[in-house]
Amino acid sequence: MLGNDEIERGMKLIKWGLGTLLMVLCARLLSAQSVYQDRQFQFLSFESIPTWTGVATDWDKPAAKIHLYDAIQYKGHAQYISVALKTGITFAQFKEQVRDHAQRKYMPFFLFDLRKKPPVLEGKSYEWAIRIEDYAYRDNAQQMTETTLRLLKTVQDYIRQATGKTSNGIVILSTNPESQPNVALAPALNQAGFPNKTTNQLVTLMGGEKVKILNAGTGFGYLRYVKAGEETNFRPTAQDIVVYAQTPLRVPPVNGIITLEAQTPLSHINLLAKNRGTFNLYALDTAAIPGLHARIGKLTRVECTDQRITLHDATLKEAEAFWAKHQVKVELPEPNFAQKGIVDLAKGDPFNSASSGLFLLLEPNVIGAKAANYAIIQRRFPAYVRPGFAIPFVYYQQVIQQGNVANLIDALLLEKANLTPAETEKRLENIRAEILKAKIDPQMLVEVSETLKTHFPGQRIRLRSSTNCEDLPSFNGAGLYLSKGLDADEIPAKLQNRILQIYAAVWTPHAWAEREYYFIDHRKVAMAILINEAYGEEYANGVVLTVPDMLDFAVVVNAQFGEAAVTNPEGGQVPEALVFKSSSATKYTIESKSNLHDVFLQDSLAATLLELKDLAVQVHRDFKARAPQYGKIRYGVDIEFKVVRRREGGFQIYIKQARLLGQVLPE
């Protein structure tokens, strides 16, 4: 028989063995050693490139560690660090521990797996690439070069440990000089043995689409090339076709849009192009469209169908006839300044003016189109819309009548024909400055503050522009104006400042240019404000677009995980794009997959996708009943949505906004 000492020693050995086995299994599941070799946690970028979401930890120590993690399970780098690594830090704390070179603890990145089709550059094969996630780094150029090289070498060492061999990697650089790391670092990285590519170049290397038409049509104009970094200050005319090296946040009225970076079908730029009847496409470089580079600066006719793009010489006579034929004059709803006090959008039935006597309060000429549309969806689909309120036009009108604002506006309208673009922008700047000095009715500020504290206690809310010059059936105005965030219990002085900033946004150069293009009477423009809850910690967000044909309509869903933007994507992000080809369809085609990770393509969200699609069909039919029918415009609906994970399980859809989208049909 074994003595007590032998039994105790045996038990210790068993416990040690089990502990060791558990450690090995955990290391197998969590360490970087096996993930790369086994290709766990991958998703597809740009429809073809297997990709990991990764983060380097212990950046403040001599040896940083690489983590590749499940991007489905963890919503972004910060959540992985907080939950999986049990640090408990907030997103704000994570950003501070990433941005500053001297205090950096973490380095977030994406790792592209190129092993299925390794590109060969100057005789050398490359099996992986990294793109550093842009977190508004404070590094100077030398520090960013050091950071990038350190991450490249750390990833290279990690892959060597996982595979037992040395491999070569590429670094993906931004073309935007305001992003880090960008192409300015290329010489130093090349010298260190790590070649660089842009996202577009990587897609080309891996066989992706080089040209894509997002909105078909014809344009006549002078081809203008805009270098990267110059898109904000470039001022095209309506007679230009603009080729942007870098996709801008917004485009003034032009006769055609070509970007040399990939766009998404439901970006603000493409929605504006559809609304204007302007062709819009992307090409990964000018060589992808034969003859494009040689025609820069020349008057050209560009014809885009769904299949091909052709460029032709054009005479000034032909162009002027085309421009004259396609001029559109938009008449705004006459603003009504009679209503005072905060409007509760839950009161009154916007489809029955006799129901309560409150219908007029919900009209676009009282609270603006965005708020009026919100009232419709809140009343018609209460399970999918959070409560909303509106500040009516009268308070904007009171601000315009203060000080020197009205005089400055009158002088600009009287003299605009004789002003240069620079002079016009200076006049607009002066108007905005005067508005920001104005005072708002103190009783209204008290009423708004009380409304926020009562209905949104302790919450973050959004103050959103709601003019009579956006979200109209015949005029979309996507992205023209402004929204501001605010905590519900913030002091009235901060509330006043936010409201004045939104009022001043009526007089920005891009809003002015858009109204000029459509011959809109600037004196009729009025700003109301929609108030609703901000959507924090959403699981996903996106846009649904209904696209009409002669008899029915398709439903297009663009979605992205977490808070990553769909309408204005950053850093080469590509959303999930799914198309139901008819209103009754229950199956869809996949136009693109997210290069972050799946949203509705997950089995757990399959029912939520069909719920969203059916909801979009109902919204389309309700809004379409209010759409005018004329000319060559067909109306769909543009819906912005959020998906939130319920505490009790499952997912909840919320409509953020909905509006009719008039699409000018191509000729």
What is the distance between the alpha carbons of residues 429 and 544, in angstroms, rounded to a whole number?
A: 35
Residue 111's φ and ψ, nearest 5 degrees, are -115, 115
As to burial, measured by CB atoms within 10 angstroms (0-12 exposed, 13-18 middle, 19+ buried), residue 325 is exposed
The token duo for 503 is 């009022």
Q: What is the pLDDT of residue 250?
A: 76
- Read off the pLDDT of residues 117-141 as tens digits, 9 standing for 90 and up: 898 888 889 999 998 987 889 999 9
User: Which candidate, 380, 306, 376, 368, places its Cα nearest to that of 332?
Assistant: 368
Spans in the chain with pLDDT lower than 50 = 1-33, 349-360, 665-667
Q: What is the pLDDT of residue 623?
A: 86
Residues in the chain: 667
Helices and strands per DSSP (H, E), number in the chain: 17, 27
Q: What is the pLDDT of residue 333?
A: 85
**Tokens 């032709």 appear where?**
312
Tally of CB atoms within 10 A around 523? 13
- Read off the pLDDT of residues 549-582 as tens digits, 9 standing for 90 and up: 778 899 999 998 887 777 666 555 678 899 999 9
Q: Could you report how far apart the first and last alpha carbons of the chain are, in Å?
A: 97
